[in-house]
Amino acid sequence: MSETLTITTPDGDFSAYVARPSAAEAPAVVVIQEIFGVNQVMRDICDGLAGQGFVAVCPDLFWRIEPGIDITDQSEAEWKRAFELYNAFDVDNGVADIAATVAAVRELPGVTGKVGAVGFCLGGLLAFLTATRTDVDAAVAYYGVGIEKYVAEAEKLAKPLLIHIAEEDQFVPKEAQKVILAALKDHPQIQVHTYPGRDHAFARVGGAHYDAADAAKAGGRSLTFFKSNLG
């Protein structure tokens, strides 16, 4: 079952896609978009999480640039638009909007009060920053682009964080991966998993680098992580 949630901030209102499980009460997961907006891939992830027993909420984080972005990774024109949006996006405002989403979701009827976050690509970086800057209960970052610039923020981390790294990620070079691993792999709140041979977005169904086996492995790890930290 899906619905639309309106989130109010001092800067304006924005919408979020909500998928609900069959249970009357459940923990929630905020799903943080890639550079293609709240598209079918993100809605499918929400629906999948609802099927696993979570209230899943995907906020429109591009609303400050243009509300309602819904594009794919299937054409050159869409990729061009996606990178325009990425370059125009303000990370700090994005994290503030996620914090507002987490606060709104905690108050939703049917939510236990526990809220996690999972993000992909741009959303992977935002999931890391959500873990360090907000009161989210647990976060998962998939192939986050730019985390190496923010690793010092891990000092503020008080809740569990799971990071998935694609070892052949074209957007997260080997040097960046070294910085991330050196800074974070021994942190008591952080689990890091690397995926040999995988490129960026290996878990994006229908994407050029999708790998069903490793997507399933990462998904299983994420599900176990959320069940243990949001239950």
Q: What sign has the CA pseudo-torsion 206, 207, 209, 210?
A: negative
Q: Which residues are catalytic?
A: 169, 200
Which distant-in-sequence residues (6+ apart) come within 8 Å of 111 by Cβ? 25, 26, 27, 28, 55, 105
The residue whose two tokens read 């243009």 is 66
The confidence band for 188, taking pLDDT boundaries of 50, 70 and 90, is very high
- For the chain, give the mean pLDDT: 97
The confidence band for 17, taking pLDDT boundaries of 50, 70 and 90, is very high
Q: Look at the chain and report how many structural domains it folds into.
A: 1
Report d(CA 21, CA 86) in Å as an integer: 31
Burial 154-184 (b: 16+ CB within 10 A, else e): beebebbbbbbbbeebebbeeebbebbbebb
pLDDT of residue 231: 85
CATH number at residue 67: 3.40.50.1820
Query: Helix H segments across the chain?
Result: 40-51, 76-88, 91-106, 122-133, 174-184, 212-230
pLDDT in tens, 21-57: 999 999 999 999 999 999 999 999 999 999 999 999 9
Count of positions (residues) in the chain: 231
Mapped onto helix, strand or coil, the DSSP state of residue 140 is: strand
Range of the domain at 83: 2-230
Q: What is the percentage of the chain residues whose pLDDT exceeds 90?
A: 98
pLDDT of residue 59: 98
pLDDT of residue 68: 97
pLDDT in tens, 166-180: 999 999 999 999 999
pLDDT in tens, 53-104: 999 999 999 999 999 999 999 999 999 999 999 999 999 999 999 999 999 9
Q: How far is CA 213 from CA 63, 134, 227, in A?
A: 34, 32, 21
pLDDT of residue 2: 78
Stretch 122-146: mean pLDDT: 98
Q: Answer whether residue 1 shows pLDDT above 80.
A: no
